[in-house]
Amino acid sequence: MKPTPFEFHAPGTLDEALELMASLPNSRAIAGGQSLMPMLNMRLVMPDHIVDLNGIETLKGIRDLGATVSIGAMTRQRDLEFSDLLRARVPLLNEAILLVGHRQTRNRGTIGGSLCHLDPSAELPTVCMAMDATLVAINGSGRRREIPMREFAVDLMTVSLDEDELLAEIHLTPWPAPHGYAFVEFGRRHGDFAIASAAVLLEMDNAGIVTRASLTLGGVGVVPIRLTAGEALLVGSACEAPLLDAVAAEVESCDALDDPAYPAAYRTRVARRLLRRALGVAIARATSERVNS
Amino acid sequence: MTTSLDMQKPVTIRVNGEARSACVEDRTTLADCLRGAMHLTGTHLGCEHGVCGACTVLVDGHSARSCLMLAAQAQRYTITTVEGLADNHQLSVLQQAFRDHHGLQCGFCTPGVLMTLTELLRDQPDATEDDVRLALSGHLCRCTGYQNIVAAAMAALKISRER
């Protein structure tokens, strides 16, 4: 199908874009367009105005700020994939990015677009939830608002941006090296939306005791889910198998999405297995990194 | 709906090394602009939501779905379509390999597949069969079972490396 008629605007600066968004009724901002364009073509959204963010250079790029890494909202998934900085400092993101769509969609798709679209099974929101990312929004009067990912992801494909705000930056705080990490997912074909995914981050002390843990599920709930009870169980443990099984069992208590193709019970079962697998990978990595460092 | 929304406007897009102008609506996708307004019908349109890969073109040298970009947006970039691969009537190494290895049957998916593999040949000259299959995962082909496409790609990679 083809989109319904709309007027196209291509601002060159963020200020111009914010002004357009504030003044134009029924407008939508377009980032990489890898989700919005299908929705336009299928007439699931019918805006009167499209504001193109692709010409705003200040929204692009990956910067090392020392304690944090700042990623412009219009940075393409391709640039995340090939970033030496992210590969070295945020290996979880590097592992996840190769599961985002295909080469042809990563070449255009952006991190900000993926976060604002907030598909429940999308990888980048899951990574940002796992990393406790801070998202920076800017509004028409130039006010910067920092939003923790847990507050940004409100509900199914719904984010906490105000109508006059655009997402400008994503701040990630890399976990110190060495740490364990894993991102695993299951879908019916490569590049399909995942039925479920699991992201694990682990820090261990010299004795192999977990000192910090982050466990996140994607595709299971309406937004990525942090398993806080499982994280608490892990910290202070030596990752014995029965404990890991108990950690993975927390998945059963999640309120899982339910549809005819993938009933909640199936999603939950897949997610539980994925989490257990991700835990194994992250622990192995944390252990070998610790031994080698 | 106001009439101004479906007004046709001029766009100029650099396609295959040549600036081409056309009048299209703001909602016109790059794919429709190429095929309809610019008569470059080599680029095919399948699903129109980014899944099948038939409409893949190169945007500043990188593969992308032309159904997921507006013609107006494409004015920022240099576009390469399948018509831009052959040098006059001399097929590219990849195109010749497709011919030699029977890498197509009905040919519907072929223009998109060629664009993705053109990017792969340039960016990953040492690509393995797994790399080729991964790149092809963004394309649907209902005829070949992919086997001859992979064979053609591997042959083209070998020839390119030896040159």
Q: Are B64 and A107 in contact (CB < 8 Å)?
A: yes
**Tens-place pLDDT, residues A181-239:** 999 999 988 878 899 999 999 999 999 999 999 999 999 999 999 999 999 999 999 99
Which residue from B minimizes the CA distance to A106?
B64
Q: Are B5 and A42 in contact (CB < 8 Å)?
A: no
A129 close to A150: Cβ distance less than 8 angstroms: yes
With tokens 């406007």, the residue in question is: B9
pLDDT at B88: 87
* Distance between CA atoms of residues B91 and B111, nearest Å: 13
Residue A84 predicted with pLDDT over 70 = yes
pTM recorded for the entire structure? 0.96
Backbone angles phi, psi at A232, to 5 degrees: -65, -35
Nearest neighbour of A103 by CB, restricted to B25, B32, B135 = B135
The size of the A-B interface in CB pairs under 8 A is 100
Q: Are A4 and B27 in contact (CB < 8 Å)?
A: yes
* Distance between CA atoms of residues A273 and A251, nearest Å: 9
- Which CB contacts under 8 angstroms, 24+ apart, belong to A249-255? A251/A217, A251/A220, A251/A227, A251/A275, A254/A217, A254/A220, A254/A221, A254/A225, A254/A227, A255/A221
ipTM attached to this prediction: 0.96
Q: Are A6 and B27 in contact (CB < 8 Å)?
A: yes
With tokens 């377009």, the residue in question is: A30
Residue A124 predicted with pLDDT over 50 = yes
Nearest neighbour of B48 by CB, restricted to A41, A54, A191 = A41
pLDDT-based confidence at B5, cuts 50/70/90?
A: confident
Does B1 reach chain A within 8 Å, measured CB to CB? yes
Which residue from B minimizes the CA distance to A4?
B27
The arithmetic mean of pLDDT across residues B14-33, rounded, is 98
**Tens-place pLDDT, residues A11-48:** 999 999 999 999 999 999 999 999 999 999 999 999 99
**Tens-place pLDDT, residues A272-287:** 999 999 999 999 999 9
A55 close to A12: Cβ distance less than 8 angstroms: yes
pLDDT at B163: 87
pLDDT at B156: 98
The arithmetic mean of pLDDT across residues A125-154, rounded, is 97
pLDDT at A177: 87
Query: Within the 91-120 window of chain A, which residues sit less than 8 Å (CB to CB) from chain B?
Result: 101-105, 107-108
The most distant pair of C-alpha atoms in chain B lies apart, rounded to whole Å, by 59
In order of start, what are the domains of chain A with their CATH numbers? 7-52 (3.30.43.10), 63-172 (3.30.465.10), 180-292 (3.30.390.50)
Query: Within the 115-144 window of chain B, which residues sit less than 8 Å (CB to CB) from chain A?
Result: 116, 119, 134-135, 137-138
The structure tokens listed for B56 are 């893949």
Does B10 reach chain A within 8 Å, measured CB to CB? no
Higher pLDDT residue, A285 or A292? A285
Residue A293 predicted with pLDDT over 70 = no
CA A42 from centroid of its chain's CA atoms: 25
Does A191 reach chain B within 8 Å, measured CB to CB? yes
Query: How does DSSP assign A27-46, residue by residue?
Result: EEEESS-TTHHHHHHTTS--
The structure tokens listed for A93 are 């993101």
Residue B2 predicted with pLDDT over 60 = no
pLDDT at B3: 54
Q: Are A107 and B1 in contact (CB < 8 Å)?
A: no
In order of start, what are the domains of chain B with their CATH numbers? 3-84 (3.10.20.30), 93-162 (1.10.150.120)
Query: Within the 15-54 window of chain A, which residues sit less than 8 Å (CB to CB) from chain B?
Result: 30, 33-34, 37-38, 40-42, 48, 50, 52, 54
Q: Rounded to a whole number, what is the distance in Å from the CA of B42 to chain A's nearest CA?
A: 18
* Distance between CA atoms of residues A135 and B127, nearest Å: 37
Does B66 reach chain A within 8 Å, measured CB to CB? no
Q: Are B72 and A10 in contact (CB < 8 Å)?
A: yes
Residue A34 with chain B: CB contacts under 8 Å: 50, 65, 68
pLDDT at A156: 96
Which residue from B minimizes the CA distance to A26?
B1
pLDDT at B1: 46
* Cα dist from B88 to A116, A185, A189, B84, B115, whole Å: 45, 46, 39, 9, 17
